[in-house]
Amino acid sequence: AQSVTQLDSQVPVFEEAPVELRCNYSSSVSVYLFWYVQYPNQGLQLLLKYLSGSTLVESINGFEAEFNKSQTSFHLRKPSVHISDTAEYFCAVSQRGTYKYIFGTGTRLKVLA
């Protein structure tokens, strides 16, 4: 069965420090991988996605994620966070051809001044 695990429910980090939000998945077939961000009382916004090709994908606001097939991971990283990055981040997996997402339980990133 397909599943997504976000190991950390909360991650506090000081402003301008690096951060990594972890995501592992299990699937017996090929998948597409996504990271979404949710600000308080808002819907989710697509941050970045991996479909194929280069295993390192980047967003416009400095986040990046690397697909690691052998470790079945898709960790999200940013070298220097800002206060405005405080939000909840969701990893999602779509098993190719099923048209269905499985979401992780989310990681709440809190950036401290």
User: Is 11 a residue that touches other proteins (CB under 8 A)?
Assistant: no
User: Is 25 a residue that touches other proteins (CB under 8 A)?
Assistant: no
Question: How is the chain classified by DSSP, letter by letter?
Answer: --EEE---SEEEEETT--EEE--EEE-SS-EEEEEEEE-TTS-EEEEEEE-SS-SEEE-TTS-EEEEETTTTEEEEEESS--GGG-EEEEEEEEETTT--EEE---EEEEEE-
User: Is 100 a residue that touches other proteins (CB under 8 A)?
Assistant: yes
Q: Of residues 65, 104, 109, 111, which one binds other proteins by CB under 8 A? A: 104
Q: How far is the CB of 19 from other proteins (least distance, A)?
A: 20
User: Is 30 a residue that touches other proteins (CB under 8 A)?
Assistant: no
Q: How far is the CB of 31 from other proteins (least distance, A)?
A: 10
